[in-house]
Every structure is written in structure tokens, then in C-alpha cells.
Amino acid sequence: MNSITRSTVCLMFVAAVIGSAAPAVCGDVQATGALKKWHRVTLVVEGPETGETASPNPFVDYRLDVTFTHRESGKTCVVPGFYAADGNAAVTGAESGNQWLVHFTPCAEGEWTYKVSFRTGTEIAAAPKPNGGKPAGPADGATGSFKIGPTDAAAPDLRAKGRLQYVGEHYLRFAETGEWFLKCGADAPENLLAYADFDNTPNVQGRRKTWEPHLRDYSADGDDLLWGPNGDRGKGLLGAINYLASEGMNAFSFLTCNIDGDDRNVFPYVLKTDLAGYQARAEKKERMTTARWTEVVDPLRFDVSKLAQWDRVFQYAERKGMYLHFKMLENENDRLMDGGNLGLQRKLYCRELIARFGDHLALNWNLGEETMLSTEQIQAMAGYIAAVDPYDHNIVIHTYPNWHGKVYGPLLGDKSELTGLSIQTSSRQFVQVHDAVVTWVRRSTEAGKKWVVAVDEPGDASFALATDKDDPAHDLPRMNALWGALLGGSQGVEWYFGYKYDQSDLTCQDWRSRDLFWDQCRFALEFFRKFDVPFWKMSPQDELSQSGNWVLASRAGDADFHLVAQVRDGGTAEIALPEGKFRFGWFNPRTGEGLVDRGQANGGGAGQFKSPGTQDWILLVQPDS
């Protein structure tokens, strides 16, 4: 036993007792988790007793990194850690303690070794050389190992599918199953995290949410993730996620900081005043400056219990198969941190989000909603995230509809670490969606680095996706935005709710207000799965239609040639097909019915395909094999 480190012995013991209520403890390092592929393993590192407002600052002047190495393959990743107070702050609300945590999701079975770097020094958390300073405690230099077994999760739990990865194509792919990803879900409310059950969340303009309409959707499968001193907080928001998943949706978005924005209730920071004082100032809606915003919050200190509670929501979302769209900043505040530059405030913010939440399997980092950051500022922020995030998640940017060329163009190809776009349009009829997607799919391809292009705010600010009571048919969002995006080569759509509705981008806490439309979104996602459409090998090719249809198709020489086109108003599509024999059929995007009116067609020229009824229909052409 003398040749085995204390940490290694501890982790071996954990593997034997995992599933018990309390984690195994071994001096300076503990481990909790299922020790299974794609499941979270958390290392708990004991450090000095400190607190959120202590000096030295535990978020700035301490740095925890753990290097994990897979013995069989040699794969290595460096995972950042974070200060966690007593290690159970979601339940206790603790602001002090001696616990630092590292969340790690192993991507392979077999033996993993680790080595801890736990250092202290002035502003070391953002230093370019992490091994500067001096040891922060006995855990610095600790080593150990553990064995990872296969996952036992079942879909839709993402731990059955593995990490969703950017692989150089226009779509993301799950590492475990190889499944390619299309998304559809809610882009609203942007202040989703303005939730009464989270610690220290204000109620500016009465917009703090209870998510009470979704209490009826709460399921006991979230019981272990509830929080608070009585273990009963979180049911409303977990119920909302359960509802959205039950409708077949697989994505939702949220701001993690909306200080000085439209809502002003969401931020990860420790306040410099009490909630009442913050709220009184925020109600005045006085625009902040780079200097003045630090009068109300401390951008170098984080609210440990609130962020731990956010994480429980994200854990539940992962179980339900949800893609997490982190909107890190918005137009009103993206230049408050360091004047828009990559300084200490911005580095700490990015590092904290990555350390706490980056182990989740399906997410993107959106650098800013409606951003007006300069090209150089975007490049710097994206580069920092790419360097710190050990999991290489999708990095995207969002800007105003009339700023696409100005913001996106200079970032194409090797000019940035961006791997995707989050597109906003401004037409109430959603008519800009298809052309915008096609433009950036093609331009990124031509630049030599394919972007994952998503439409995350279709429509205009006032109306966009209406409630069911205002527009039960939802014809325009279905035809122009949903199918316009998908046939343009987009990863999918998240839906913004306009200000004119009672369940708006800021006031919504009932996703059932769009219940009828979620059905149409589910039909679209099921179409590609049910009929084995290889969308990841297809591209927008509207030029194949001589009748103005939107077309997504394989390359002409592909033996597995597929083509999907939209026909409106009961019309006819005149489509040029390559040489070969094909079969076709029609899909009803309003009801999910299909394939109807099947037939066969010979390629080598233009064929005419008459839709089976009025309104819009989706034509599917496949090899006749």
C-alpha cells in the first residue's frame, strides 16, 4: 500500500461504496459521482477556510486546475475548479467554507489518473501561468486514479448519447452514439433564471418568476435535485423543463447576466448592497457605465449558493435531453466588463461559468446577445473560452439583423475560435430566415471552416412567435422560420416571444402558452429521424428548383441522394434530379402525417411533383432501393 497515494486509496474506496448517501472522505481530496462514462465525477479539494467576501479573494487569488489523463489512450484535459463554500451551498445557502470543486465528465471507459494544481497568489485565477504563486494547501500536487465503467443511462438522458461536439461540419454530433443533432425549443423568456427559488434574486419591475403554471408538470424524477433548507425548492422550473421535454423539444436559452438590460434580475455576483437597495436602483433604469456597475455588484466575487442552484436546474435539463444555450451577456452590458476588453472581470466571469457548468454535455457559449463588441474583442473572448474550456463546446455570437455582415464577416474561417452563429431576424412574417441561414452556411463553407448556424430569435421584437390564443395555426412561423431554417442548412430554431403578448420574452413563465406550436416543431424533428434523412450530408440547393422552392439536398453524385423541398399553397414543385431512380412522398408539417401520395421518379432532368392538398407540404425524394 505504500506505493499508492492517499488520494488513490480514497477513490478506490469511493468506487466500492458509490450510491451511499455520503461521499467517501480522504484527507485533502474527496470524490463523488457514479464513475461511469459521461457521468459527472466531482473532486472535492480542501482548502483554507474563507468566504465570498474574504481577503484574499477566493475567486481571484486562488486557482484550482486538475489534469485528468486516460491511461489507455493518453488523452489529457485540464479542468478548472471553483470555490464552493461548504460544498453543499445549494441546500445550506452557505457563503463560507473550505471546499473547492472540480466537475469532470470522462469521455472514455478505463483508468483515469489525475493531478491537482491548487495555487494562491495575486490574481492568479486569470494569470497566463497557472503554476505561479505558491501552494494553497496540501492538495497541491496530489495525484490519484479511478476506473470508469460504461454508462447505464437511457435516452433522452444525454449521458446515454455522450458529449455534443463540433466536428467541423454544419451540425453537432453526439460522441457516444454518433447521432447528429437538430434542435428546437424556447428562446424565451431570456430571464428564465429570474426565479424566486434561487437565492438572492431580486424582483425588479415584478418580473421575478415562480413558474407556478408548471407545478403540475413537476415529476418525482427531480426530487434529488430540489434545493433549499427543506429540500422543496425548484419544482416550478423543473416542471417547466419536464413539460418542454414532454413536447419533444430539446433546447432552451437563458441569460446568465442581465444587469443593465431589459430585466436586471439575473446575475451571478455578490451584491454590494442588500436586495432592496439593488432593486431600488435597478427600478430607475439608469444606464450603467464601466465604473458605475461595480457600485451595485462585485464583478470579482460570485454568489456560490445561487450558482449551485442554477446547476441543479441544468443537471435536470441534461437528464431530459436538453441543449443549454448560455447567453453570457447582452447588448446593454457586454461592454461593462473591462470596457468590452478581455480583462480580469471578463476572464473571471468566463472561467467561473466554464468551471461550474462546462461539464454538461450539450451546450453552447453565446458570447453576447445583440452584441456590439468589436471584432478584436470578440476574437479575444472567444479565444479565451476556447483555451479554458476543456470540453471544446460550440462557441457562437449573436447580433442585430442589420449587423450580420459587419459582425460575422470578419470572424469567418481562421479569424476566430467561433464554431457557430446565433441568428436574429426582424420580419414579423419571418421571411428573412431562410436567406440568412443559406448566406452564412455558404460563406462559412467557402471560408474553410463550417459554422453551425442556428436561428435563435426569428421574427420581430413586438410579435415573433404568438401565443396559441392569438395564432392557433402558426402558419408563418412554421413555413417561413421553422422549415425555412431547416431547409437552409440550419441546426434548428429557438423561439422568441414578442413583447405584445402577456407571455412575452420577459414575462413568460408558462411555456404551455405555445403548446400547439411545439407540436409542429416536434413533427419537424421527427420527420428527419423517422424517414432517415441524412441532413448532415445535405446542403441548401434552392437552384435545383425551377419553381422557387426551398431545397435541401445531397450532392448530385451521392449514391444515397436525398432531397427535401417545401411546396406552398397546394402547388407543384419542378425539381432537377440527378441520374438515377428515386421514390418520393409527401409529409404534412401541420399534422405530422406522412409519407402520403408516394411515387417513383426517374432522374436526369426536371421532374414535376404535385402536392396532395392545399397549404404547405414537404416533399421527400430518396433512392429507389
545, 511: one domain = no
Give the tens place of pLDDT for each residue, 223-272.
Answer: 999 999 999 999 999 999 999 999 999 999 999 999 999 999 999 999 99
Q: How many domains does the chain have?
A: 3
126, 104: one domain = yes
550, 441: one domain = no
248, 359: one domain = yes
37, 169: one domain = no
Residue 404: inside a domain, yes or no?
yes
CATH number of the domain within which 274 lies: 3.20.20.80
Residue 225: inside a domain, yes or no?
yes
E-strand spans in 62-150?
62-70, 76-80, 82-83, 96-104, 110-120, 134-135, 143-148
423, 458: one domain = yes
Residue 361: inside a domain, yes or no?
yes
302, 445: one domain = yes
The predicted pLDDT at position 288 comes to 78
Residue 221: inside a domain, yes or no?
yes
Model pTM score: 0.95
452, 579: one domain = no
Q: Is residue 465 within 8 Å of residue 495, measured between CB atoms?
A: yes
Final residue of a domain: which of 530, 562, 578? 530
SS3 256: coil
Final residue of a domain: which of 471, 501, 530? 530
d(CA 164, CA 453): 15
The predicted pLDDT at position 8 comes to 37
216, 311: one domain = yes
Final residue of a domain: which of 498, 530, 562? 530
Phi, psi (rounded to 5 degrees) for 335: -110, 5
Residues of the chain with pLDDT under 70: 1-27
- CA 504 vs CA 57, 357, 493: distances in Å: 39, 27, 17
Residue 1: inside a domain, yes or no?
no
Residue (of 325, 264, 259) closest to 496 by Cα position? 325
38, 59: one domain = yes
| Phi-psi sector, 291: left (phi>0), alpha (psi -120 to 50), beta | alpha
Q: Round to the nearest angstrom and report the end-to-end CA distance of the chain.
A: 63
CATH number of the domain within which 544 lies: 2.60.40
| Domain interval for residue 608 | 538-623
145, 244: one domain = no
CATH number of the domain within which 72 lies: 2.60.40.10
The predicted pLDDT at position 287 comes to 79
357, 462: one domain = yes
